[in-house]
Amino acid sequence: TPDSGRVLLDGVPLAELPADVLRRRIALVSQEVHVFDGTVAEDLRLFAPDATDAEIRAVADRLGATGWLDALPEGLGTRVGAGGQDLAAA
């Protein structure tokens, strides 16, 4: 583990920034995720309930995830969550 160095935000040491500034600019991104019981499409529609399969695929294409999606046994219809397909980043 590092025992020296500095952490900067826009060139300013974090220790010099007010807490409210840090809270507005820093977020926690956990490595643990939750996949709801259902299909891949149903999980993704939690964020855009009216999204069509074509729209979801278009976003997957922009993200470079079409190959991953196509490799799933049932594509968007693959069941995930409890008792469903295990998912892993490719």
Give the pLDDT confidence score for residue 78 in this predicted structure: 93
Whether the pLDDT of residue 30 is over 90: the answer is: no
Average pLDDT, the chain: 86
Boundaries of every domain in the chain: 38-80
Tell me the pTM.
Answer: 0.58
40 CB-contact burial (10 Å; exposed 0-12 / middle 13-18 / buried 19+): buried
Coil, strand, or helix at residue 80?
strand
pLDDT at 1 over 90: no
| Residue pLDDT, tens place only, 42-75 | 989 998 999 999 999 999 999 999 999 999 999 9
